[in-house]
Chains A and B, each alone.
Chain A
């Protein structure tokens, strides 16, 4: 009886290790925020947990399958989970664990589940939906999702049985109803019209319009109403590069890979027109307020504006090529994130063709445009002998105002201690903020954009990333081996940290699931 009593007075941790253990990756920091919490994959345990604000966590029942990939809906109400599990063809009851099964009889099965409120919708996986589909497009109300395979997918795709690349899988998230629609060869992009009544699917050399839900003009629901052939030559392949819906969704503008051609598809009259630009566009932005579409070119100092009444193109010269564009309430913000030598940031008015120029200190690689300000992460571009800006990461703050506005503040550039690992923006009635995470810095910088002042919110560990939560808070993941998620409320800078969830089922030894069903 004395031994435990004697040990009570000692620090229990002051004993040498009897050894070490490498359990594997306990948790994936690429968490997925949702309305009901944060979903986290635990690769070593093969489980999915949901962490909530109150500090609790629970395991999502996937019927023995392990989560491989997560996609959240824009409104945060639903999460698609690609799952897989080991299957042994030998029904011997003595075979309990995957290692017990002969290698020649061991295979992997996959499925997709729709999770809401910590449970699978319908209590089971989605019927017949392949987990190889790695792209998801959502309607504006998040009521319908389109799943398809990325055109860049290659040999890493795991095909369970067979995979039909000629179709798009639509899922109604309310009840997990699945609709498979054949649209053409290899869908490469899917857009939904503004009223969520139709989906525009770009496939190789074809564009298909799919009716959703309600019958329209004699076209059945969940079927292709019209198909546009981008070429009549079977030997010629037209690969769409980008697509935008303009004119309240009446027209689809399709740019083509490595081509200056732009297809104008009239979705109501079912007609095709072809425009030619000065070069292959690098970015396409629609400005509904001005009834115009703006094209930028990464290698040409020029911007093209397409008006939607007569579809005439106006080319406007700029000082530098602009590879990217973002629509703001003040106009179209143009910048270059492809070539380090170009640092102009233009506020462009598509109606007048005028633009105001600002300039970044360093090359921009991540820009977020809000209502009143745009913020950008800029990477260093010099050596140790360069000036302060060139040798550090820089955070740029650009005030947004329509072209021609007087008194616009010059850009403010903050020199950062280390590389940013996360950036989110917050707009309130009183002020706008940027939430910035820096590598190896245990604090969250809250930068007020109107005066560039910053406050620090101490974090319990070095941050790994930040994401906006559907409930207007922010999720910060911390570098903790046992899992760490902090819920940040920017209204009062409060922090609620939850740790330890990565140890869920730490001692578990996953057995072969669903053995009874396979017998």
Chain B
């Protein structure tokens, strides 16, 4: 389907005459001469409307729950893909999927055979692997004072799947010291951001850069007997991609 302004340009073509047109009963009174059709000036310099946008995102949440420090030093930082569609020039619903995994070595302090307390890198250790898959669905409302710059606010619903593995010998698939716990949680978030758009020579595609900050609310992530995590906090996101 052609864009609307192209349909306007093609409206000058005359409609086909009917095969058997009835003869007029009387000559019509003289009508003033019709004004000639105005020529539409099509501005070929305006960029085409680009409704789709796909970006690679790096997002993170500044986790306030100290328990996260037992599994990762990097909070909830994830790489993802964001895809949106401009249903209106200023309104863009979007979906995003991201993933992150973090491994840590856990040193089990204890007492030695003399009863002395041992600290630091003891031999009794295991590794943890915490994988986080998150999905968001939301909408951005953008104010663009220029075709190359905009500011927006976003609201979204989000889900998080956490998978925790513990293993005292990851190189051995059959060792008994393995444990896995997983859980799902959901929440919502709000953010504000800025975006920059750089058209390309093809004019079909533009490069999009985005940066935003906000807050993410989550229900606790329950990981069975291992415990629970509170994944909410200040969220930060940046992305780069294409608009077409």
Contacts and interface: CB of A to CB of B under 8 A. Distances in A.
Q: Do A and B bind each other?
A: yes
Interface of A: 1-4, 7, 12-13, 15-26, 57, 59, 460-461, 479-482, 484, 497, 499-500, 502-509
A229 to B, nearest CB: 39
- The A contact surface, by secondary structure, is loop
Contacts of B204: none
B96 to A, nearest CB: 10
B89 interface: no
B213 interface: no
B103 A17 contact: yes
B102 interface: yes
Nearest to B126: A481
Which 7 A-B pairs have CB atoms at the shortest separation, nearest pair first?
A507-B227, A481-B108, A19-B73, A500-B179, A13-B170, A25-B110, A481-B124
Contacts of B166: 482, 500, 503, 506
A503 B79 contact: no
B229 A3 contact: no
A373 to B, nearest CB: 29
Interface of B: 66-67, 69-74, 79-81, 97-99, 101-111, 119-121, 124-127, 129, 131, 133, 165-168, 170, 175-179, 223, 225-229
Given A12-B165, A507-B227, A508-B227, A1 B175 contact: no
A16 B170 CA distance: 13
Nearest to A11: B170
B102 A18 contact: yes
A350 B73 CA distance: 70
Contact of B168 (A1, A2, A480, A507): A480
A442 to B, nearest CB: 12
Contacts of B66: 509
A17 B178 CA distance: 18
A24 to B, nearest CB: 5
Contacts of B69: 21
A482 B72 CA distance: 18
B106 A15 contact: no
A507 B70 contact: yes
- Chain B CB count within 10 A is highest, among A7, A16, A57, A499, for A499
Nearest to B175: A460
Contacts of B109: 22-25
A225 B127 CA distance: 61
B177 A499 contact: yes
Contacts of B99: 3-4, 7
Interface of B is mostly: strand
Contacts of B127: 13, 17
10 contacts: A4-B133, A17-B103, A17-B104, A19-B72, A25-B110, A461-B177, A506-B226, A506-B227, A507-B228, A509-B67
A23 B104 CA distance: 12
A21 B170 contact: no
A496 to B, nearest CB: 11
Contacts of A505: 225-227
Contacts of B177: 460-461, 480-482, 484, 499-500
Contacts of A502: 108
Residue from B119, B126, B225 having most chain A Cβ neighbours under 10 A = B225
Nearest to A509: B67
Most buried by B among A2, A4, A21, A508: A21
Contacts of A479: 124
Contacts of B67: 507-509
A482 B168 CA distance: 7
A27 to B, nearest CB: 8
Contact of B107 (A16, A20, A497): A20
A508 B68 CA distance: 10
B175 A23 contact: no
Contacts of B226: 503-507
A460 B168 CA distance: 12
Nearest to A479: B124
Contacts of B106: 20-23, 481
B158 to A, nearest CB: 16
A389 to B, nearest CB: 24
A95 to B, nearest CB: 16
Contact of B97 (A1, A15, A480): A1
A482 B103 contact: no
Contacts of A507: 67, 70-71, 223, 226-229
A499 B179 CA distance: 8
A262 to B, nearest CB: 35
A508 B70 CA distance: 10
Contact of B176 (A7, A12, A57, A499): A499
A502 B109 CA distance: 13
A19 B103 CA distance: 8
B70 A3 contact: no
Nearest to A15: B103
Contacts of B80: 3
B70 to A, nearest CB: 6
A75 B109 CA distance: 33
A20 B105 contact: yes
A127 B227 CA distance: 31
B173 to A, nearest CB: 10
A19 B98 CA distance: 22
Contacts of B126: 480-482
Contact of A460 (B72, B165, B176, B229): B176
A483 B73 CA distance: 25
Given A18-B72, A504-B226, A25 B81 contact: no
A4 B66 CA distance: 27
A15 B70 CA distance: 17
B170 to A, nearest CB: 4
Contacts of B103: 13, 15-18
Given A13-B129, A17-B104, A481-B124, A23 B70 contact: yes
Nearest to B228: A507
